[in-house]
Amino acid sequence: MRIARWLLGRGPEHSGLIIGNDASGKTTMLYKLKLGEIVTTIPTIGFNVETLEYPDGGKITLWDVGGCDKIRPLIRHYMQPDRFLIFIQSCGDLDPDRIEFSLEYLRMGLAMMADQGCRHMFILFNKQDLLPPNERDSIIKGIRAQIETEIAPYLGNHDIRILDYPGLCATSGEQLYPAMEEIRQTIQQIKKPAQPDTKAQVAELEKGPSDTELIERVKKANADAVDAESFWTSFIDGSLDSWDHYTHLRAGFFVLHDCFAGGFGLLECADEFMAHLNRLRQGNPERFRNTAHKTMTIFWLHQIQIAAVNYQVSNGRDKFPDRGEYAEIALSAPWLMNSGLWRSYYSKDMLFTPKARENWHLPDLQPLPTPAQAKVEEEQPNTQRPGNDVDRLPRFAFSVVQKTLTSKLRRGGVVKQALEALQSSTIRLRASDPSVSPYSETQAYFWIQIVHAYLRSLETEPPKASKGTQFEGSVTTLTFEAFKALFDITGDEWRQYYSPSVWQGIPARMSFVNPDKKALPNVFGMPSKAKIDLARSQMVNAVSRRFTKPSGLPPREDLDFWAAVLIDEAKLIPEEELIVESHASLLRFLYQRLSKPSEEKSSTVAARTALELSSSMGSTQSMFWVQQVQLCLASGKMASTFEEFVTANAHLAYEDLPLVYYSPQLWQSAEVKEVYVPPDRHSLSSIVSSGK
């Protein structure tokens, strides 16, 4: 139950699970209490989580647990002794089989209460508005009698209350708030057993060095340290004078910097760091004795990144600190020198297991720390209008060329889809903003060609004399800002090839017109070392910002383009074949499975689909994508084919969509593969948006 220990939260607020069969009104109840309004929902196949906040400062966190029978095995992961349960009995479905199905859920909840030591359950009769007024009392009395029979064996050890609120209806809110207030008053009177302070307990058992001692250690290590260039050279060739905790962390920061410059995130940095350690150990096993431990490596790299970002924010900087600033970073975060820091986050039972050694596991004592945030007034929001954005076409072309390098489609087909997507997007933008330049096929194709030529130059083998100026890294991970820095892109490059009259002419809008000054090149020269260094710095800052300020969705024209490419990619894969590694194949499978008419309830189909996929892609991952497709199917947009569905919901083609909601550290952990884990960036819910 380590996952639940901090997923559900500890502290003064109370936490409860809402259970009941599918369509009993659990999600409607949750969002009526949270938002005070009626919402359209899809069947919950995982969990919806919301915290109700009250004027007196009290908080109640409620977990709406999907009611499909396929979800039952997952509920046990979220039960804890200090949780309470709310069981919802629907009065809208009086079929004997459905009532029996609901009672099975009640039995499951009762059994889990007994097993986990939970004390309180509250039972509500929802959808009473659907009962004939003259029969309501007798119908509820009959269902109540069955429920009383089920709960009778548990009353000696548990407080189980059937709340009598005639007319209760979650949709309208009738009697809902009084019922919730009774629940709140009851649980507030519970004297919770004193919870041991985990941090204090760990500190007592494993007392680390004092702050003063840690600062002195940092100062001494800084004084003995060589300069950044010498340190990196000795780390690469294995000639380090010592391999103590300080040196280990400094090497981690340097590897972090190097990987960020290549466009890789923290988890990829951990793999690179462990590869370095294996190399060092093979060269000098006596000095470099550390064995590879993935969880420990990621833990320390995370702590280093936190320290670096906090140093950056505290100094009002907009750039991630460079390698030469490690001494100042260490002095600003002396806790890094506590080699036993992990004890505040991991139990030994968790950390020293083969699983934690081989895979990334989240802490079981408390969540990882989050970085400091810059003050709102220091942030510079992007308020530039599309009509004034000189980077719009170069940025789009850059995205297109990167896609041609990763797609299995022919380049010509990808470019054709790109031009069509850009044309549609331009027409849409001009309808609301006339300052946007008209679509020009010549301008669009020029930028695609010129960007392709620039990127090809990065893959060209430089002369031996210029080896030191070679760009290292994949062009597919390059950011647009770094690309601009590499080639000093200004947006006026077209003037070298076109006269203004041809560039802006009507014929150039209709179809591609060849340059009238000089032909377009196939490749450019390798950028200078200064420009490569500047681009690497841009990459480091971009990757760091993804950690501190995750971005939302890309521009609409990019999404439309990716959607069109995805549709074509799906055509290359046989319909009867599912390849979960292929985003196109996965989306087509989900669309066909979830949109197909079925005698089964949609929640059953969705849950079965998510659980079927969980073995190959993880529980949270499968539930995320199933829910995204569900929401789009329920949004009301008419789509009779997969192609129409993707076109109408182009954001689904964005493969990094999960990272809008989840941090990479959470999304790629072993825990999210085992059970459903809620997002840590933006919440997900079963509410159907009417604004899509």
Of the CA atoms within 13 Å of residue 534, those in its CB half-sphere come to 13
Contact call for residues 244 and 251 (beta carbons, < 8 A): no
What's the one-letter identity of residue 568?
D
- Cα 656–chain centre separation: 8
Instruction: Please tell me the distance from the alpha carbon of residue 319 to that of residue 311, in angstroms, as a whole number.
Output: 11
Q: Does 656 carry a binding-site annotation? A: no
DSSP 511: S
Contact call for residues 3 and 675 (beta carbons, < 8 A): yes
Contact call for residues 47 and 63 (beta carbons, < 8 A): yes
For Cα atoms 113, 612, 356, give the angle at the middle one, nearest 5 degrees: 70
Instruction: Please tell me the distance from the alpha carbon of residue 661 to that of residue 620, in angstroms, as a whole number.
Output: 12
- Between the alpha carbon of residue 52 and those of residues 31, 39, 47, the distances in Å are 10, 17, 16
Q: Does 92 carry a binding-site annotation? A: no
DSSP 463: P
Q: Does 128 carry a binding-site annotation? A: yes
Q: Does 157 carry a binding-site annotation? A: no
Kindly report the number of other CB atoms within 10 A of residue 435's CB atom.
10
Q: Does 21 carry a binding-site annotation? A: yes
Of the CA atoms within 13 Å of residue 95, those in its CB half-sphere come to 4
Instruction: Please tell me the distance from the alpha carbon of residue 249 to that of residue 221, in angstroms, as a whole number.
Output: 12
Q: Does 127 carry a binding-site annotation? A: yes
What's the one-letter identity of residue 594?
L
Q: Does 129 carry a binding-site annotation? A: yes
Kindly report the number of other CB atoms within 10 A of residue 20's CB atom.
25
Q: Does 210 carry a binding-site annotation? A: no
Alpha helices in 8-119 (DSSP H): 26-35, 72-75, 96-116
Q: Which helix (H) or strand (E) holds 61?
A: strand 59-65
Q: Does 26 carry a binding-site annotation? A: yes
φ, ψ dihedrals at 126, nearest 5°: -95, 165
**DSSP β-bridge partners for residue 90:** 126
Instruction: Please tell me the distance from the alpha carbon of residue 366 to that of residue 345, in angstroms, as a whole number.
Output: 5
What's the one-letter identity of residue 217?
R
Token pair, residue 345, equals 């986050």
Q: Does 67 carry a binding-site annotation? A: yes
Token pair, residue 555, equals 């521009």
Instruction: Please tell me the distance from the alpha carbon of residue 169 to that of residue 79, in angstroms, as a whole number.
Output: 27
Contact call for residues 315 and 372 (beta carbons, < 8 A): no
Three-state DSSP at 405 gives helix
Q: Which among 119, 122, 106, 99 has a CA at the least distance from the CA of 176?
A: 122
List binding-site positions for GTP.
20-27, 67, 126-129
List binding-site positions for Mg(2+).
27, 44
List binding-site positions.
20-27, 44, 67, 126-129
